Structure 1
Amino acid sequence: MAKEKIAPGAKRGGTVSKVATWVIGGLLLVGLAGFGAGSFGGGGQRVATVEGQVIDADDLLLTADAIRRNAARQGRPLPFAQVQSIALGSLVTDAALDAEALRLGLSAGDERVARAITDDPRFRPLLSFDRSIYREFLESRRESESAYEERLRRQLARAQLEQAVIGGVEAPRGYLDIMTAFLLEGRDVRYAILRPDLLPAPIADPTEAELAEWYEANAEAFTIPAAPRIAYLWIAPEAVAADAEIDEARLRALYDERAEEFRRPERRLVERLVFADEAAARAVLGRIATGASDFDAEVAAAGLAPEDVDLGDVTFEGLGGAAEAVFARTEPGLTRVVPTEDGPAIFRVNALLNAVEIPFEDVREELTLELGLAGARRVIDDLEDEVDDLLAGGATVEDVAAEIGPAVSGTLFAGPDGDDPLLGYDTFREAARAATEDDFPEAVRTDDGGLFALRLDGMREARAPALDEVRGEVLATWRREAETDALMALAEALRDDFAAGEAPLDTIEEDALVRVAGLDGAPPALARAIFETPEGGTATVRLPGAAALVHVDQVTPADPDDPATRELRAALVAENPRGYPGDVFAAYARALQARMDVTVDQAMLNAIAAQYGN
């Protein structure tokens, strides 16, 4: 029996800092956010209102879709009725918090929204904001810039409300003790993954009758949802910009204007701890050098928080007389005691950031597009009247697209499964769901300066496709399920041998595995089985396309004197918006809903369930 031995405290055992980081980042997170907006074939149908805050069918559908997809990825498919209920609860909670924030006058201004976007690390690949990456992010979400910024504005206002409610809340000692003991309970476990290559023979193909019977029982998973069929013409700003001739001098001027983005000096990520005198600073440096203390402990001993000593990323010029000592380091670490205008100080260098020098030629294309897009708006402004005149004269959207150079035409289905980029525009999506067959097409502008006109060409009814239409997908799904069934049967047959350590399987051993560190890359079902199986127990686990055997050799209670226990407890105390305070905020949100005017359109919910839940 082959074994992969993972030493305690190694990759999956986790370090003390990983323990705290994992708890702060994931386990105790209170998720109260919605998932966006989508398309349900009518004009802005409301499914609920909360103190004037509207939740429409499209909000519900795309939230439900995100929940259903997430459940499916975890191997826990949910019926549509349950998904719809979870989605509605999430959206009602958000709407109640939005209404309360509005009542209290809490809001995030334009400057704060802009700062949140430009500071978002997803849009700062080179430590400066990259608008092209921001645009790609919005396109991938099928969301306009204004819609995203409005949603972010509401999130920031809710964050203000959360901080106001739980800013002074501290968890009781009993809560912290229970959580720490639970999260750091150690488990020595063995597990093995059974994959299809372990089956004694390949799964035989099903007969036609077997496949048809299975498909009939699982038709919901393959149902094509209802959707309006939309014919459109579209003038994209990028298409107009591509034909623009941009003067070299203008490109160079824009490059110079954005010099801070393209040319940045060498920097360091630095923290600074200042002392009353040099003797005190040297004493601390000596304790750190001998291992008797560390920088973080000394910061805490001085009564300071991490943000009190964090200088962020600084340049040589920004450090004054301390620059030589800080920039002399060739790797992260501490400096000697350095005199500063605030007193003797020790600097901790956390990262060395090289100078950024992006040549003009490397960003020529980006700058050309930026200037081109600015000119494209003016061109499309001029085309708007021409498009309206042609449509008013009886031309179809296809005729107009053929007449006007940069325009294109096409058709799409504007249902919840639609993935056409045009559905990412709020104005297009709303016009598509509001369109009737009696409407005349007219030119409509998008937030980024584009222009479209559309026509409803009927509805696609929800339907389960004929087996022959989806035979390949159905057969692949059937085979995966059949293989999983066979692997689960094999796992059951090997259960006793595995418990005795005699099963002929490649087995992985984990010592002192704790909940807070988790199991890197493990499917959720496997992780649950590891932490739910009692000492001495053996469990079989159904996984997507596989099975697993788990045996728990030993369960060890958390050691209250272990440094990891103390650090985790400190993290639970310090991470105020999480854990117990988060539970307090969740209770506050429920209380808000209880006293607010919440109206739910059950008929609309039933209609959605009938259209998408079958």
Structure 2
Amino acid sequence: MLTVFRNLIRSKVALVLIGLLILSLAVWGITDIFKPGLGASLVKAGNRTVEVSDVDRYANNFVRSQQNQGNDVTKQDLVQSGRLDQIINLLADRQLTAAYFDKLGISASDKAATQLVRSMDAARNEITGEFDVDTFRNLIAQQGYSETQFERAILDDLTFDLVENGISAALQPSDAISDLWNIYQAEARNIAFFITTPEDLPEAVDPPTDEELEAFYAESEAALTEPERRQFSVIALNETDFYHQVTIDDADLRNEYEAQQRRFSLPGTRTYEVARFDDPDRARQALGPLLGGNDFASVVTDGAARVEAPVTSEQSEISDQALAQAVFQSPVNVWSGPVQALDGRWALFRVTEEEAGEAIPFEDVKEEIRRELTSSRAQRMLTRAIDDIDDAVGAGLKVEEMADILGSPVFTYPPVDQRGRTKDGMLIRNLSTLEGALEYGFQLFPNETSDRREGEGTQYVIQLDKIVEPRIPELDEIREELRNALQIRRTQEAFAEFVEGIQERIDSGASSLTVEAEALDRSVERPPQAITRQSGAALGFSQSAVGQIFSAKLDEAFAAPLQSGLLIGTVEAIQVPDAQALENMRSETRANLVPVISNDLLRGLSSEAEKNIDYEINSQMIETYLSELQVTE
């Protein structure tokens, strides 16, 4: 079917059909699709947008970093947890605020952005230690950026830092704010508590009857429904699959070493002379005659510039990075420029002499050259294989037939849901981490083979072998599991009611913490020191328990969940810093409050930006994007 469509699209018939479609839309008045607007953008803020690719880049980088740390996270998990919504909101707010800065004329300089990029360790050549354009381009490509996108991101980062630093420098928190902050942070509470578990229930919870089990089964129908699962077969190829076919001998390595001798040398020196102009047009006018062979003194007769004394240096020794790069990229004995120097003037320069640096020994770079040659030759093999894949797909072949042509294995996986999990919950990582494979695979028809797809350097074709339809297990299949689940739920409900009774008796004065503990043959415990919001975790209390402790009033009972039960306690005393202590803490606190208040002010800037910038949210597109990733459990 796909082959028929591909051939049709290339034909004149397709052009006629598309023309008729456009005409029919116009006749029926459906013209909005040709009007400018949000289109496929998720958010528009001034002349800035948030695209699906922006969200994908951010989400993919986050998922990759989590998986590298051994965490089992997929993009679908981000949707389920609401994290992807947060990412969209974060990117939207960033673009809105950045658009407001654009309108106000607030921006970091291009020079600052250039200096930041050139200072990135990850963009340096590992041999010479110098900034390397190819390394830089590979770095940003791995992160999913184009050069233009990365440049804008860097400028935005610097601009946000500029604004935040400006706000922070002007902030001076008042004594009142400082005191409130210190009271909140330093408040300490003495508590008493005991721990109770469902085993303390005065009566055992009756097991569910068959009638109750049937009702629970009917009630849980949605939760019990097994999602649609699909079985896929995949052919996947990347550069590393061809490494074993690459043969490199010492002659190849030596030839490559000699061909790149300049690269595999320590920094050399260049002798150059410079003439500086106040006016860039005047510098350009002088460049032409100089390139024609005229003497500088005969070209510049009005004293607008003079040739400075020759300088000999390595590139890293020239403080003006723009000039340094130009000098070490220009030909020898040829006037070049103009280049804007650090002092704001415009420089013409000429390299008069070049001395190469000492060559790095062949043995020191031999393995690096081997890796690079292996990679480049394997990439060429992959390129040829891509052509074979496209021909096979165009011919309508199945993946098994493609495998014979490519000499590559077919990987057939058990049926999985849209997160890449089997019925038993096992994650098929090869599918879940193959970019776009699951999303695209769940759009295929039975026995359909996809076009060649690309995911993070891997070329693949995915074939849908079988669809396992959603189903609800019969009651008899899961009777015991359901019985246990219902028993646990009823026990939890009875336990919650039991604990509420204890709290009510303590709060009403009809009982006390000690009496209730003794009735359950438990002992009341008291931490050796008062608890603060910061020290709770160190004393063994969960974040939830600390929250309950500091939400309760004096002598009021509270309950906090534990893994196997509940902590029931009361607040026996509350201490806050006195006036002298608050005064002593103010100086340090002011410094800590500056970034907190600065962040609040930046959030306020976002609100102000929304009033001043044309801001649109494509809710339908966002919903569509999320629904395509949404998993029905």
Residues 385-444 of structure 1, C-alpha deviations (whole Å, 9 max, x = no match): 222222323321233235533443335657256653444344546654776779863333
1:424 equivalent to 2:424? Answer no
Matched, 1:97 2:112: no
* Correspondent of 1:404 among 406, 416, 420: 406
Whether 1:415 and 2:412 are equivalent positions in the alignment is no
Pick aligned residue for 1:509 from 519, 524, 527: 527
Tell me, in whole angstroms, the C-alpha distance in 2 between the residues paired with 1:480 and 1:443.
49
Query: Following TM superposition, by how much is the alpha carbon of 1:526 offset from its aligned partner in structure 2, in angstroms?
Result: 1.8
- 1:187 aligned onto 2:189: yes
Q: Which residue of 2 aligns with 1:491?
A: 499
Give, in whole Å, the separation in 2 of the partners of 1:481 and 1:249: 73
Bigger relative contact order, structure 1 or 2 (CA pairs below 8 A, ≥6 apart): 1
After superposition, where does 1:66-77 map in structure 2 within 5 Å?
Answer: none
Correspondence list, 1:451-470, <5 A: 451-455=459-463
Q: Give matches, 1:454-603, under 5 Å.
A: 454-455=462-463, 478=486, 480-492=488-500, 494-495=502-503, 496-498=511-513, 502=518, 504-505=522-523, 507=525, 509=527, 511-520=529-538, 522-543=541-562, 546-562=565-581, 566=584, 570-571=588-589, 573-574=591-592, 576-577=594-595, 579-594=596-611, 595-602=613-620
| Mapped partners of 2:227, 2:468: distance in 1 | 8
The code of the aligned residue for 2:418 comes to G
Q: What secondary structure sits across from 1:541 in the alignment? A: strand
Deviation at 1:610, TM superposition (A): 13
Deviation at 1:162, TM superposition (A): 3.7
1:185 Cα deviation from its structure 2 partner: 0.9
Tell me, yes or no, if the aligned pair for 2:195 and 2:522 is still in contact at 8 Å.
no
SS of 1:550's partner is strand
Cα deviations by residue, 1:555-587 (Å, 9 ceiling, x for unpaired): 111345449x8568625524643x222111222
> What does 1:245-256 correspond to in 2, within 5 Å?
none
CA 1:574–1:183: 2 relative to 1, 3 Å: closer
Residue identity in the other structure for 1:589: S
In structure 2, do the counterparts of structure 1 residues 596 and 219 end up closer, same or farther at CA, with 3 Å as the change threshold? farther
Identical-residue share of aligned pairs (%): 17
Shift, 1:370, TM fit: 9.2
Letter in 2 for 1:512: A
Q: Does 1:444 align with 2:441?
A: no
User: Please, what TM-score do these two structures have when normalized by structure 2?
Assistant: 0.51
Q: Residues of 2 paired with 1:366 and 1:498: CA distance? A: 71
Post-superposition shift, 1:96? 3.3
Shift of residue 544, structure 1, vs aligned partner: 5.6
Tell me how far apart the structure 2 counterparts of residues 98 and 475 of structure 1 sit (CA, whole Å): 52
Distance in structure 2 (CA, Å) of the matches to 1:152 and 1:207? 64
Number of matched pairs = 423
- Shift in CA distance, 225/438, structure 1 to aligned 2, threshold 3 Å: closer
After superposition, the Cα gap between the structure-2 partners of 1:431 and 1:480, relative to the gap in structure 1 and judged at 3 Å, is same
1:554 shift after superposition: 0.8
Separation of aligned partners in 2, 1:56 and 1:527: 41
Q: CA deviation at 1:214?
A: 3.7
Paired with 1:148 and 1:498, the residues of 2 have a C-alpha distance of 61
The DSSP-based 3-state class of the residue aligned with 1:377 is helix
Q: Deviation at 1:533?
A: 0.5
Give CA-to-partner distance per residue, 1:301-346, whole Å, 9 cap, x none: xxxxxxxxxxxxxxxxxxxxxxxxxxxxxxxxxxxxxxxxxxxxxx
The answer as to 2:173 corresponding to 1:176 is no
Would the aligned equivalents of 1:437 and 1:458 in 2 still touch at CA under 8 Å?
Answer: yes
- Cα distance, 1:463 vs. partner? 6.6
Cα distance in 2 for partners of 1:188, 1:443 equals 66
List aligned pairs for 1:322-361, cutoff 5 A: none
CA–CA distance in structure 2, aligned partners of residues 442 and 433 of structure 1: 14
Q: Determine which of 155, 161, 164 is the counterpart of 1:163.
A: 161
Q: How far apart in 2 are the matches of 1:552 and 1:490?
A: 21
- Residue segments in structure 1 that go unaligned for 5+ positions in a row: 1-44, 67-79, 120-143, 255-364
**1:599 Cα deviation (Å)?**
2.8
Q: Which amino acid aligns with 2:387?
A: D
Distance change (3 Å), C-alpha of 1:516 and 1:483: same
Structure 2 CA distance, aligned partners of 1:246 and 1:202? 76
Measure the CA separation in 1 of the matches of 2:526 and 2:150: 44
RMSD in angstroms over aligned alpha carbons? 5.7
CA contact (8 A) 1:60 1:84 kept: no
Give the alignment of 1:290-329 within 5 angstroms.
none
Contact 2:57 2:144 in 1 (8 A): no
**Alpha-carbon offset, residue 591 of structure 1:** 3.1
